[in-house]
A and B are shown apart, each in its own frame.
Chain A
Amino acid sequence: MADKLLFDRIDEPGLDTIEVYKRRGGYQQLERALRMTPEEVLQNLLDSGLRGRGGAGFAMGKKVSFLPRGGMDKYLVCNADESEPGTFKDRELMQKSPHMLIEGMVIAAYAAGANRSFIYIRGEYELQAMKLEAALIEAREAGYLGEDILGSGHSQTLYLHRGAGAYICGEETGLLDSLEGKRGNPRLKPPFPANQGLYQGPTLINNVETLATVPHIIRMSGTEYAKLGVENSAGTKLISISGNVQRPGNYEIELGMKARDIIYGLAGGPEPGREIKFWFPGGSSSPVLKPEDLDRGYDFDSMARAGSMLGSGAIIVVDDSNSVVDVALTLAKFYRHESCGKCTPCREGTNWTVKMLERIHAGDATPMDLDIIASVQDQIMGNCLCVLGDAMAMPLSSMVAKFRDEFEQYIEDKRAAAGLGEIPEPTPIEIAGAAA
C-alpha cells in the first residue's frame, strides 16, 4: 500500500495550525501551482484521474474543464455537508488538517478561474467549523487568500458558511439554494452548476476530500497520482467504516483493495460469533451487498459490477443479530425526514414506504405489501428531481429483493404475534390498462 496522503500523520499535534502545516511542507504546492498556468494545473487534475469523493464519482478535472472561460464571476464551493449516513471522513480531515483543504481550494479555484469561494459545512460540525474559521484567518494573514495571492495575480475570497441541518443540502444544487439563503431545495438540471450555479454564475462544486487531494496531485504530478489505485479508480480514498465492526473509523486505502481486507483486516470484522448479514458499500444510499461480495475490489467499477456503488466510501456493516426489516424502516424514515418535499415521487414515495414498513412492523401486512413496496421503489427511481428519492429506493429495493424470505418470515411472525393468524390467499390486483 502506498504511503498515506490525506491521513499522513494526521494526529500530529498542532497540524490544524498554519505553523505546523507549513513546517510539514504545507502551502508549497500552492506556490508551485501558482507558478504554473491554470491550464497546466487543470491538465494535472485531468491526468490524475481523480474522481469526486462525495458520492457521484464524477471526474474532477473534467468538472473543472466544464466551467466556461472568461471574465465573469465564477465560484468554487466546497461541499462539506457530509450527511450521508455512515460517512464521517471529511469531518476528521477538516478538524485535523483544515489547511490542506484550504490549500486545495485555492489551487482548484486557480485552475477554474474562480475568485470567490465558499465552504458549505453542515451545521452540526461545530468543532470543525471553528477549526476552519481559525485556519481561514491564518491563511488570510499569511497571504494565501485575498488579493494577488503570492504575487500570482490570482485573487480569491474564501468564506465558511454553516448549514443548519438538512441532508438534502449535500445535493449540489440544494446546497447552492441553501447557500443563497433559501430553503435547500434541489434545482432542475440543466442548467448545470458549471454554467449557472451560485448566484447564476459558473460554479465548481467539490467534496472536501476531493479538494484536499489536489495539493497531493500537484506534488506528485497528475500522471504519478494516476498510478495509485486501479483502472478508473485512481488514487487513495478515505473510507468510513461503521456499524457492526470491532474497529469502526476512518481509514485511507488505495482504491481496489479487497472489501474483505477492509472490513475484516482494518476494521476487525463483526464481534466474535457474529456473521455479516449484509453491508452498504457506499453509504446508506447504496444498494446492499451480501457476504459473497466481500472478495470484490473496493473501487468504482467493481462496486458497480456488484450492482451497487462506491458512493462516499462509507461502509456500514450489519451483522446477523439485526433484522433487515428494522434496518429498512430506519432507513426509510431517514429519507422521509430528509426529503425536501419539492418533487412528488420522493415526497410521497418515501412517506408511503414508511407507512407500509410500519404496518409490516405492526404485524398488519401480507407478502403482497412487499410487492407494492418494491413497485413503489421502481416508481420513484429515475422519476425524481434529484437523487434523494433514488437514494432510498435503491437500497430498499435491494433489501426486499435479497432478503425477501426474511421479510416474509417477519410478516408471518408478526401476524402470529398480533393474533391475525394465517395469511389469506392473495387476490391479485388488476391494473386497468397495464401490461399483464
Chain B
Amino acid sequence: MPRPEERFVTFSIDGREVSAPAGVMLADGAKYGDIEIPVFCYEPKLGAPVGACRMCLVEVEGIPKLQTACSTPVKDGMVVHTQTQRVREAQNSVVEFLLVNHPLDCPVCDKGGECPLQDITFGWGRGISRMVEPKRHFRKPVELSPLIAIDRERCILCYRCVRFSQEVSEDYQLILNERGASSFVGTFDGHPYVAPFSGNIVELCPVGALTSRAYRFRARPWDIEGSGSVCTHCPAQCNVEFTVRDERVLRVLARDNHGVDDGWLCDKGRFAYQAIHSDERITEPLVRNPDSGELEPATWEYALDVAASAIEQAGSSVAAIAGGTTTNEEGFLLQRLVRAVGSADLDSRAGLPPVPAETQRALAAPALQATIPDIEFAHTVLLLGTDPIDDVASLDLRIRKGVRRNGVKLAVATSRPSALDANSRLWLRYAPGAEHAFVAALAAAVGGADGVEALCEKADADPKAVAALAQLLQDGGEDVVIVWGQRIGAAPLPSLLNLAAALRLGERAGAGLIEVPVGGNARGLREVGVQSNAGPGLKDAKAGKSAHEIAQQAADGKLTTLYLLHADPVRDYADRRLWERALQGAEAVVAHATLLSDALRATATVVFPAESYAEKEGTIVNLDGRVQRLRPAIGRPGSVRAEWQVLADVAKRAGHDPQVLTGPIVTQQVVAAVPFYGGLTLEEIGGKGVRWQERDAASAAPEAPAGPFEAGEPLAAPRPNGALRLGTYRSIWAAPEVEVSPALKFLTAKQQAEISPVDADRIGVDNGGRVTVSAGDVSVLASVFVRGNVPAGTVFLAEATAEQSATELLGGEPGLVEVRPA
C-alpha cells in the first residue's frame, strides 16, 4: 500500500499566508502559521476526528456555518478566520457550556497547571459565569481500575478515553453509559478497566477527570522537570519522558515517535518506573564474605578487585551473559574484556540457541529489513511465532492501526492463540516447538515445492490453512512484512530466509522482515558482538559457547567465572534446574543487578549495583535498526556508579584497560568497531534515533550470503497420545519490575494452565481449578484457564513467573506433559 505523499498547499488564516501539508486538518495546519486553534476532543492519534467538543469552530470563507477546524482539511486558496467576533462568540459559548458542570476545584486538582481546560478557559473563555444553578456533585474520585481514578464531575465528555479503548487498543472495555447530560464514562457492570494500555487514557484526558493513582498529588507542574529517554523494559523501546521531582521519577509519559511507538505506552512502560525507587534496589556493591558465606556490602575498591581477580584468574574459562537492558556500550565493553582474556563464551540470546553468523548476516541485510511504520502501510503482515502484546507491547497497537485504518491484511501463525486473531484475515496454529516444520512448510508452499503436506503433518498445521496463507502472502499485494519472534529458535531461520526470497521481500522498500527479540536491546547486543559466534559488526570471531553450553559447563564445574550483566538466567531461561546448578557450580559469579534475586543471594561472589534505565547513558538498537539514546534523567542512588565505568574498571584491574574516560568515549569505540554504525554520533542520534540502514555507512553492513539456504530436516511435533503438548509464552507481566512496582503488583503474572474445554473435561477440572503439570519428575502448579480457542491436546504455561515458572519444565526437547488435578 503506497504511503500518502506529502504535498503542500497554501491557504490564508487570519490574514497570513500559510503553507501546510495537504490533507492535514485546519487545527494542525494553523500551527504552520503559528496560530493556535483550541481543541479538546481532537487528537489525531485517535483516528478520524469526531467534532464533538465544538471548541475549534472557525470561519471559512464561502461556508455559511462555522466549521470545526479539527475536521476541515486545509485546501489551496482557503481563507480562514479564527479571530472574528462570530468565532469568538462561539468559542466563549463552548467554554461557558463546558464549565456549566465542571467544578472549579482547580486548586485541589491534580491536573492544575497542566490542564488544557484551564488554558483554554483563560485563552478563549469569557472570563465570567452566568450560571447560578447548583453544579452537580458526585463522589470523587472513584476507582476505575487499580491504576486509574475517575472524577466524573470534572469530565467534559470529550470521548478521548473511550475512543482510545474502542478504536486504538480495541479492548472495548471503557464505554460511555447513558445519554446526553447523563452520559458518563464507565465499564460493564462495575468491572475494572484493566487492559495492557489503559494508562494512556490518563495522558489523553484534557481535564483532571482521569488521574494516575500512582501520581496523584505527588507533584505540581512547577515542581517537576521532564526528561526524555527510552524505555528498556521490552524490545519496543518506546520513547518516554520521565517526570522528575527531586531526583525521583514520579511519572512516565509518552514522547511520541512515529518511527517507534506512535505515541502510546503500555502500562508496564508507564508504571514500572516505580521499580527504580524500590526499597529492594541494590545501591552499593555486595561481596560474599568467605567466612560467613553471606553477601555483604563492600567498598567499590574491594568489589572491583574481587571481580577483576576472578576474571584474571579464570582467563579463558570466563563466560559472560548480558540481559536485555544492557546498553550497546556496556555490552561492547563486556565482550571486549571476555575476548581479551581469551574466551569467546558470550551470549545475549536469553538462553535461546545460537544462530550461525552466516544466517545472521543474511537476516541483517538492510534491504530485507522492514521498518516499524512499514507495518502500518503493508499490504500484508504475517505474525510468525510472536504475540506482540506479550513480546513487544506497543507493536500490538501499530498492527491494529494498520488493519483498522489502512486495511492491512493480517495473518497470524502461532502455536498459542493470539490477541490479534480477531483482527486477522486468517490465523492458523501449529504445534508448540514445531516452528521449523511450519516455516519449512510455508516456504515450500510459497515456493511451489513438494512435501508441503508432510511438513504440515510434522507441524500439526492444517495444510489448507497453510495453502491459504501462502496464497495471501503471494497474491495479497507485494508489500509483505513478516514479524517473527526470536523465540521460534534458530532452526527455522534458513526456511524463513527462503520464504523471504520467494516473496521478494528484499526488493521492495515497504516489505521485509522484523525480528521481535527477547530482551530490550537484544539486537544492539548482537550487533556489538555479545555472542559466541560473531564479533562486533557481526564479523567472524573465534567461536565460543552459547548460554546453554555455558550452563552445562558451569554445572559440571568446568567454568571458573560467570559474569552476569543484567541477566537472570535462573528465572528467565529454559531449564531452571540446570541454571541453578550452573550458578552453584561456577567458582565465581559476578553480577550487575538492580534487585537481588534468590539465585544471586545464594551464589553471587560480587554483585555490582546496576543503574536503572532512568539513570543510564548510552545507546540501544530498536527492532528495525533504529539506534536510540538513553539519557540520564535522575542521579544514581546510593553509591551506584555508571556501569560502563564499572566494566572499564574491572577490565583495567584485570589488565585490559579499555582506555575510556567518559560514556561518549565508549560510544565512539562502539561506532568504530561496528562498520555499519560508521561515523554515528550521539548528536546525530538525537531525540528520535536514527536507523543505521538509512545512513551511508549501511553499505558497510556485512555481505549477506546468497540463498537458497539449507533448510534442514525438521523434527515432527510429538503426538500427545493422552498427554498434552507443552507450549510456553512469556507474559508482559512476568517480570521483577512488575512485582516490585506497587502500582503494578496486582498484574503480576500467576501461573495458569491454558487448556481447551475438551481437555478440561477429559482431565476433570473446571475453570479456576488447580492442576499439576509435570514432565518427568519435575512439575509446576497452575490454576486452570479454560479457553475455547486453545487447540485440544496442548497446554500453555507462562515462563519467568516468580514462582512455578514453566522454565522448570523446559529441560530438554519440546515435549509432552501430564496434567492432573492438584
Contact = CB atoms under 8 A, between A and B. Distances in A.
Interface in A321-345: 336-345
Interface in A58-103: none
A347 B66 contact: no
A188 interface: yes
A356 B133 contact: yes
Contacts, number: 105
B97 A345 contact: yes
Given A347-B183, A348-B101, A434-B126, A188 B50 contact: yes
Interface stretch (A49-57, A110-118, A245-253, A378-386): A378-386
B505 to A, nearest CB: 31
Nearest to B89: A379
Given A188-B49, A340-B179, A383 B90 contact: yes
Interface string A391-405: 000000000000000
B757 to A, nearest CB: 28
Interface string A299-323: 0000000000000000000000000
A435 interface: yes
Interface string A171-204: 0000000000001000010000000000000000
A341 B52 CA distance: 9
Contacts of A429: 128, 130
Contacts of A350: 180-181
Given A188-B51, A384-B54, A352 B180 contact: no
A431 B126 contact: yes
A341 B133 contact: no
A433 B95 CA distance: 15
Given A348-B101, A379-B97, A341 B54 contact: no
Contacts of A435: 85
A336 B182 CA distance: 9
B465 interface: no
A432 interface: yes
Interface residues of A, number: 36
A168 B93 CA distance: 23
B65 interface: yes
A336 B181 contact: yes
B54 A338 contact: no
A397 to B, nearest CB: 15
Contacts of A379: 89-90, 93, 96-97
Contact of A344 (B65, B92, B98, B131): B98
**Binding site secondary structure of chain B:** loop
Given A351-B100, A383-B90, A432 B126 contact: yes
Interface string A332-373: 000011111111110111111001100100000000000010
Interface string B204-217: 00000000000000
B180 A341 contact: yes
Contacts of B290: none
A132 interface: no
A383 B178 CA distance: 23
Contacts of B224: none
A341 B182 contact: yes
B68 A432 contact: no
A176 to B, nearest CB: 15
A178 to B, nearest CB: 12
Nearest to A368: B130
Interface in B65-119: 65-66, 68, 71, 85, 88-90, 92-94, 96-98, 100-101
A214 interface: no
Interface in A221-250: none
B321 to A, nearest CB: 52
Contact of B179 (A166, A375, A432): A166
Question: Which of A338, A342, A435 gathers most chain B CB within 10 Å?
Answer: A342
Contacts of A342: 50, 52, 159
B467 interface: no
A434 B130 CA distance: 14
A372 B96 CA distance: 12
Given A379-B97, A383-B54, A431 B180 contact: no
Interface string B150-168: 0000001101000000000
B53 A347 contact: no
Instruction: Point out which of A188, A337, A432, A435 has the most chain B C-beta atoms below 10 A from its C-beta.
Output: A188
Contact of B130 (A188, A337, A341, A372): A372
Nearest to B55: A344
Given A348-B181, A355-B133, A383 B94 contact: yes
Interface in B140-194: 156-157, 159, 176, 178-183
Contacts of B90: 379, 383
Contact of A359 (B93, B94, B133, B157): B133
Interface-central residue, A338, A344, A356, A433, by most chain B CB under 10 Å: A344
B57 interface: yes
A164 to B, nearest CB: 12
Nearest to A338: B180
B127 interface: yes
Contacts of B49: 188
A238 B85 CA distance: 43
B52 A385 contact: yes
B53 A341 contact: no
A188 B180 CA distance: 17
Contacts of A430: 128
Given A345-B93, A348-B101, A432-B127, A337 B180 contact: yes
A433 B85 CA distance: 10
B157 A347 contact: yes
Contact of A188 (B66, B71, B133): B71
A382 B97 contact: no
A431 B178 CA distance: 35
B137 to A, nearest CB: 14
Interface string A415-436: 0000000000000011111110
Nearest to B127: A432
Given A188-B50, A382-B65, A383-B54, A341 B179 contact: yes
Given A352-B131, A352-B133, A382-B66, A343 B179 contact: no
B580 to A, nearest CB: 55
Nearest to B49: A188
> Which of A347, A385, A434 neighbours the largest number of chain B CB atoms within 10 Å of its CB?
A347
B679 to A, nearest CB: 49
A341 B97 contact: no
A185 to B, nearest CB: 8
Interface in B47-64: 49-55, 57
Contacts of B94: 344-345, 383
B128 A341 contact: no
A385 B68 CA distance: 9
A352 B135 CA distance: 10
Contacts of B71: 188
A411 B126 CA distance: 28
A434 B93 CA distance: 12
Contact of B54 (A166, A337, A343, A359): A343
Nearest to B88: A433
B180 A344 contact: no
Contacts of B89: 379
Contacts of A382: 65-66
Given A348-B97, A382-B66, A429-B128, 7 more contacts: A337-B179, A338-B179, A341-B157, A350-B181, A351-B180, A352-B100, A434-B126
Interface of B: 49-55, 57, 65-66, 68, 71, 85, 88-90, 92-94, 96-98, 100-101, 126-128, 130-131, 133, 156-157, 159, 176, 178-183
Enumerate the 5 nearest inter-chain pairs by beta-carbon distance, A residue then B residue, closest first: A379-B93, A348-B97, A341-B183, A339-B180, A351-B181
28 contacts: A166-B179, A188-B71, A337-B179, A339-B181, A341-B157, A342-B159, A343-B53, A344-B52, A344-B55, A344-B94, A344-B97, A344-B156, A345-B54, A347-B97, A347-B180, A348-B98, A349-B97, A351-B100, A352-B133, A359-B133, A383-B66, A384-B54, A429-B130, A430-B128, A431-B127, A431-B128, A432-B127, A432-B128
